[in-house]
Amino acid sequence: MRYKFSNVGVVEEAEFELADLTILCGENNTGKTYITYAVYGFLKLWRELLAQELGDVIDEVLRQGSKINLEELFSGRINEYLAKVSDRYTKSLPKVFASKSNAFEHAKILVSVEREYPFLGSEYLKTLRNRNTNQMVASLSKAADEPFLSVVLADKDATHALTFFVIDAIADIVFAPVLPEVFIASAERTGAATFSKELDFARTRLLQALGNLDGKAIREQPWQFLEQIDSGYPLPVHDNVDFTRQLDSIDKQTSELSTQAPQLLKRFESILGGSYKLVKDSGIEFQPTGAAKVKLSMSAASSSVRALLDIGFYIRCKAKRGDLLMIDEPELNLHPKNQRALARLLVQLVANGVKVFMSTHSDYIVKELNTLILFNAQTAHTQAVKLKWKYFDNELLDPSRVKLFMTVPTKRKGKGYTLKPAEITAEDGIAVETFDNTIDEMNSIQEQLLYGAGIE
């Protein structure tokens, strides 16, 4: 997918395409958060926005019969629909960023595919059932390599639900192959881990207070007011809090990825230095490795334990091939040793089919990724170094699978920022000017202090 932004916060213009591993670097207040949140918001909301766009179209098609010709509707028109969804999304940016309604009035976001992709190859079968009776309401089916989505309606009174059921199937078949399910660990994740109980209490008190107010509508539908309160947080932060609130049910799930690649969870727990446990009536507890009797609440555990909580539960309970994992500042509260270890884990996730997007200020993480790129040469020399330092084959990083973008000022000074792709080669790894320039300056200062070099 290709993303094109203009006037999104301080990002005056930017055009980029995500890779298997995408890295965003730059100085503070240069647009990294705007880009990260905007990408996340699109991938989180596109189904809802597509349903708004397709509602009338699918209603009309269903009135004409029980077979929907997907080829006729969508072949050669993917970018046309993505442009319409992008336009709706641009209007939703105040909701994503929890900002004033006019904050993005000049913004423009366009998501597109570089070329048409085949979407008719796979078969599809899904049944819609009544939640109360479990009786079938409708079923949808499509044979492999056939253009027709066939609709069987068992409950003739369920036509409204049928429209959204069909649109969801179209989303799965036509658009989901290039629009991955997304999970984000925002920079505010430590607060969500620490104060999740307090946030729940606040939610309950708000509902109780609203229930006591006069007005039938307020008493009967207080959630409408709650949604307005929740919109005070940017969407990624809101979703982090919501994820932590639901850990009692999420904890019961086992992810596809942790079943297929259990070593990933072991590697994560070695970085964490223990494991998370969800204890009834006590919430989340951390148990350090080798200390069975020690159990720490999130408020008592180290900041690194809180910073890694979302990522840990995602790997153990939610992760699957084809996902996009977004991490804002993966280095948050981590010692350089663990920053390097986390970089290796993220590359292992990529090797197992999870795409990763990160924004980072960590030279340790980028240098470790460079090491994994250099190991990819697999010469006799690199093999010997790899063996000496105990690296693994599934940590090797093909440079063609990596993109790094730096936020830099636009040519019009003082007008905003854009993205500059970094040069990435198999011989030298990733060149990150924003880090290299700072490190060179520090080295020069120390050389002058220690040896008097460069002083006139």
Looking at residue 223, its pLDDT comes to 45
| The pLDDT of residue 291 is above 70 | yes
Domains of the chain: 2-179 (no CATH), 189-397 (3.40.50)
| The pLDDT of residue 229 is above 80 | no
Model confidence pLDDT, tens digit, residues 266-283:
999 999 999 999 888 778
DSSP state of 423: P
Cα distance between residue 454 and residue 456, in whole Å: 6
- Tokens linked to 345: 């884990």
User: Residues 70, 177: contact at Cβ < 8 Å?
Assistant: no
| The pLDDT of residue 201 is above 50 | no
Q: How confident is the model at residue 207 (pLDDT cuts 50, 70, 90)?
A: low
Looking at residue 261, its pLDDT comes to 95
Average pLDDT of the residues in 395-422: 91
| The pLDDT of residue 214 is above 70 | no
Name the least confident of 337-346, 420-429, 438-447: 438-447
Looking at residue 219, its pLDDT comes to 47
List all residues 6 or more positions away from 67 whose beta carbon is below 8 Å from its beta carbon: 148, 149, 150, 151
Looking at residue 194, its pLDDT comes to 57
Looking at residue 226, its pLDDT comes to 47
Q: How confident is the model at residue 208 (pLDDT cuts 50, 70, 90)?
A: low
Average pLDDT of the residues in 79-97: 96
Q: How confident is the model at residue 158 (pLDDT cuts 50, 70, 90)?
A: low
Q: How confident is the model at residue 193 (pLDDT cuts 50, 70, 90)?
A: low
For the entire predicted model, the pTM comes to: 0.88
Name the least confident of 9-23, 136-150, 192-206, 269-283: 192-206
| The pLDDT of residue 263 is above 60 | yes
**Under DSSP, is residue 124 helix (H, G, I), strand (E, B) or coil?**
strand
Average pLDDT of the residues in 358-372: 95
Element of type H or E holding 385 = helix 380-388
**Under DSSP, is residue 39 helix (H, G, I), strand (E, B) or coil?**
helix
- Distances in Å between the Cα of 234 and the Cα atoms of 41, 46, 200, 270 are 9, 17, 18, 32
Element of type H or E holding 379 = none
Higher per-residue confidence, 137 vs 374: 374
- Tokens linked to 343: 């970089």
Tell how many helices (H) and how many strands (E) occur in the chain: 18, 18
Average pLDDT of the residues in 169-173: 95
Looking at residue 217, its pLDDT comes to 52
Model confidence pLDDT, tens digit, residues 9-55:
999 999 999 999 999 999 999 999 999 999 999 999 999 999 999 99
Looking at residue 233, its pLDDT comes to 84
- Distances in Å between the Cα of 303 and the Cα atoms of 83, 173, 273, 287, 292 are 42, 42, 13, 14, 20
Looking at residue 438, its pLDDT comes to 86
Higher per-residue confidence, 191 vs 104: 104
Output the average pLDDT for the chain.
88
- Tokens linked to 42: 């699109």
* pLDDT above 70 coverage of the chain, percent: 89
Q: Can you spell out the DSSP letters for 276-344?
A: EEEETTTEEEEEETT-TT--EETTTS-HHHHHTHHHHHIIIII--TT-EEEEE-TTTT--HHHHHHHHH
